[in-house]
Amino acid sequence: MKVAPINNLNLVSVAMERLINRQDGLPGLGVYYGPSGFGKTTTTVAVAIETRAYYVQMRSAWSKKTLLEKICSEMSLQAARTVSASLDVICEQLAASQRPLIIDEADFAVTKAGMVELLRDIYEGSQAPLMLVGEEMLPNKLKKFERFHGRVLNWVPAQPVSLGDAQLLAEIYAPNLEIEEPVLKELVALSHGSVRRVTVNLVNIAENAMVRGITNMTLNDLDRTALYQAKPQNAA
């Protein structure tokens, strides 16, 4: 998987390194949060590959038992028959390997009774790095879980896409098109911070340029009707 080294990737990499190499006595929990579209999942998966972290993306319908089964599956382990036994299996594996565990879409955990405490149990039982990834309100949602909230070493807010990020993304999503800086600035302005929207528009203008036989995209060449602006085309 080729991932542009955008600012958020660097932020998460540094945060995970701090969790892995933390001094004795420091907590090993991290929370990476931000609005949808800011590239959290893509950057988190890249960091998981880089650090050999176990990675699980939660779903709204999951129970505690299902979550533990999915973590066991990610670890290539057989889940036990009971929640408590599966918890022990996971803690033993994490403690032995000291590989990080990343839980994406962790907002679902705070809506389920006992789920956050279960995640804390995983951390306490293994002392392995644990990072939660979720939307921008995740830190506030976690405040009511003081025993978890108080053990967080790193709070990492995802940053809005920048011009520098757009230039790096263009190398991957529009590699055969020279895109002048004013065009990239326009894409960033339209994105409202979203890495995803910049990525979609880079693909759109690359396809549009190919159809028109353009190899160098200037602001005058930009077909704005081809740009995704996060609203229906017939909207006012």
Within this chain, domains 7-157 and 163-225 share the same CATH topology? no
Average model confidence (pLDDT) across the chain: 93
CA 107 to chain centre: 13
At 230, the pLDDT band (50, 70, 90 cuts) reads low
Q: Which residue has the higher pLDDT, 24 or 101?
A: 101
CA dihedral 181, 183, 188, 194 (to 10 degrees): -120
pTM: 0.91
Q: Give the per-residue pLDDT at 224.
A: 81
Which CATH number does 163-225 carry? 1.10.8
| Weakest-pLDDT range from 12-26, 84-98, 213-227 | 213-227
Burial class (CB in 10 A: 0-12, 13-18, 19+), 78: exposed
Instruction: Write down the CATH number for the domain with range 7-157.
Output: 3.40.50.300
Q: What are the boundaries of each domain within the chain? A: 7-157, 163-225
